[in-house]
Amino acid sequence: MTDQSSPTFTVSPSDFDAVIFDLDGVITDTARIHSIAWKKLFDDYLEQRTARFGEQHEPFDPNVDYRQYVDGKPRYQGVKSFLASRGVEIPFGDPQDSPDQETVCGLGNKKNPMFLEGLETHGADVYQSSVDFIHQLHAQGIRTAIVSSSKNCATILKVAGLTHLFEVKVDGLDGERMGLKGKPEPDTFLEAAHVMGIDPARSIVVEDAISGVQAGRKGNFGFVLGIDRTGHPDDLSENGADVVVKDLVEVTVSQADSSALPSAMGKFADFAQQLKGKHLALFLDYDGTLTPIVERPEWAVMAESMRDTIRKLSKLCTVAVISGRDLRDVQKLVQMEELFFAGSHGFDIEGPAGKKVENQQDLNFIPLLDGAEKRLREHLTGIEGSLVERKKFSIAVHYRLVSDEQIAAVEKVVDDLIAAEPKIKKTYGKKVFDLQPNIDWNKGKAVHWLLKALGLDRPDVLPVFMGDDV
């Protein structure tokens, strides 16, 4: 096993905001099941061609041909690529073709039931080192997504119990629906970064396939990390990987270094220049921004001097408070009716009197969160220092007062709940896990919604968000 004290590569939160993973060969090990299915499909078909046309073809090689022609590629592209290597050309057909049709799509559709049968029989093996690495990323506020050419991605994640680890999933079904080109083109990776709202230059692509590292390089991602589990590291490095490791145990995650961030006051002249001739729209977090960081949420009280400053600002520009707290809770704490407020991470939005702006997400999630809250309280009661804070549209699990040895136990309780209830997702704050409805909504979306609702989505408006965490 690689010595963890001498890592090959270290991921720093000051350099990267997200890591986008391939699935098979990186997180799960279903390559053997895929390879068996591909070999049976191609060998049977080539034997049929020998019987019909007298053609002679080399059978499918699970090592060479798997990596070269099908690994990491969309299924139909893999079929076409391998057949071309044997000098065989058949009509592409249509994705609706039946498995007995002699088309690229027909053969691809024939392979999928073979794979699913193998998956049901053998299950999906998981690389525990990869799961551990993802937990390290989350602990430092680095977000994660999964990108796979497989149309079975969701099934594999569910079978392996890994769905909750990824904020965003872009798979073969999504690619087909959206008309995205498969690997080695970067479309699916770029889509994942787009959905997360992350600059590809501040994202890492983790891949074990040649086509995957090629896609990462073509997409101009900040770093392409190759995983070589087959003894062919040069294949990955020569096709775009910046670093190649045998396993993610060789990669570490450093703690966020706040000193590496530029000082807002030190950059004030740049900010003033950007603001010239524009209207300022100021969005403020509450905890840690308008108040100091405290050990318990009820201790976060806004100072009168801060309140006076915000009141003066509100007379000069648009001011909104965007908080993870309940809407009524943050309104009560701020005590300024003239502001706009978005509570529950943007799920509950309201404007001041005379400027009616309301947006409330689906109330049907509330009973679901009620059940989750009950389960969390039952399972966390024995972990000293843990605190469950219920909000209207979310649940905060605080671990600031939990001993370092017990933090993993707190996260396991949260992860077990997420695995059992896919309609809830986990997000991260400072010493807190936030559980929210698993829909495409967050503080950033709330800011965009407010800008549009207030007619501030214009070139002459400079939106500024001030917060204290990722």
Task: Look at residue 95 and tell me whether its pLDDT is greater than 60.
Answer: yes
- Range scoring the smallest mean pLDDT among 83-87, 265-269, 381-385: 265-269
Backbone φ and ψ of 180, nearest 5°: -85, 140
Q: Tell me which of 3, 15, 22, 404 is the catalytic residue.
A: 22
Ramachandran sector of residue 276 (left: φ over 0; alpha: ψ -120 to 50; beta: rest): beta
Q: How confident is the model at residue 178 (pLDDT cuts 50, 70, 90)?
A: very high
- Identify the pLDDT of residue 5: 38
Out of 80-94, 245-259, 293-307, give the one with best mean pLDDT.
80-94
Percent of the chain topping pLDDT 70:
93
Q: How confident is the model at residue 6 (pLDDT cuts 50, 70, 90)?
A: very low
Domains 262-361+441-466 and 365-437 share a fold: no
- Whether the Cβ atoms of residue 468 and residue 292 lie closer than 8 Å to each other: no
C-alpha span between 346 and 121 (Å, rounded): 44
Contacts of 364 (CB under 8 A, 6+ apart): none
- Identify the pLDDT of residue 124: 81
**CATH architecture for the domain at 365-437:** 2-Layer Sandwich (3.30)
Q: What is the CATH topology of the domain spanning 262-361+441-466?
A: Rossmann fold (3.40.50)
Task: Look at residue 296 and tell me whether its pLDDT is greater than 60.
Answer: yes
* DSSP, residue by residue, 287-332: TTTTS---SSGGG----HHHHHHHHHHHTTSEEEEE-SS-HHHHHH
- Identify the pLDDT of residue 4: 40
- For residue 429, list its beta bridge partners: 432
Task: Look at residue 382 and tell me whether its pLDDT is greater than 60.
Answer: yes
Task: Look at residue 469 and tell me whether its pLDDT is greater than 70.
Answer: no
- Whether the Cβ atoms of residue 264 and residue 21 lie closer than 8 Å to each other: no
Using DSSP's 3-state secondary structure scheme, residue 124 falls into coil
- Whether the Cβ atoms of residue 57 and residue 86 lie closer than 8 Å to each other: yes
Between helices 365-380 and 407-420, what is the axis angle to 10°? Answer: 150
The DSSP symbol for 69 reads I
More confidently predicted of 359 and 409:
409
To which H or E segment does residue 437 belong? strand 432-437
Percent of the chain topping pLDDT 90:
52
Q: How confident is the model at residue 360 (pLDDT cuts 50, 70, 90)?
A: low
More confidently predicted of 443 and 282:
282
Task: Look at residue 2 and tell me whether its pLDDT is greater than 50.
Answer: no
- Identify the pLDDT of residue 26: 95
Please state the domain extents for the chain: 13-28+126-253, 31-122, 262-361+441-466, 365-437
C-alpha span between 242 and 174 (Å, rounded): 28
C-alpha span between 301 and 211 (Å, rounded): 53
- For residue 320, list its beta bridge partners: 283, 340
- Strand pairing of 168-170 and 9-11? unpaired
Task: Look at residue 257 and tell me whether its pLDDT is greater than 70.
Answer: no
Is 65 labeled as catalytic in the residue annotation? no
Residues making up the chain, counted from first to last? 470
Q: Tell me which of 3, 15, 17, 24 is the catalytic residue.
A: 24
- Identify the pLDDT of residue 359: 60
Q: Identify the CA nearest to 274 among candidates 131, 460, 125.
A: 460
pTM of the model: 0.53
Looking at residue 13, its amino acid is P
CATH class name, domain 13-28+126-253:
alpha beta
User: What is the rounded radius of gyration, in angstroms, for the C-alpha atoms of the chain?
Assistant: 26
Measured between alpha carbons, how far apart are the two ends of the chain, in Å?
33
Task: Look at residue 1 and tell me whether its pLDDT is greater than 60.
Answer: no
- Strand pairing of 125-126 and 424-429? unpaired
- Whether the Cβ atoms of residue 295 and residue 389 lie closer than 8 Å to each other: no
What is the average pLDDT value for the chain, to the nearest integer? 88
Task: Look at residue 168 and tell me whether its pLDDT is greater than 60.
Answer: yes
Is 24 labeled as catalytic in the residue annotation? yes
To which H or E segment does residue 360 belong? strand 358-360
- Range scoring the smallest mean pLDDT among 260-274, 284-298, 305-319, 390-404: 260-274
Q: Looking up tokens 């933090």, which residue turns up?
A: 407
- Identify the pLDDT of residue 3: 41
Other CB atoms within 10 A of residue 59 CB: 12
Using DSSP's 3-state secondary structure scheme, residue 16 falls into coil
Q: Looking up tokens 């101009």, which residue turns up?
A: 220
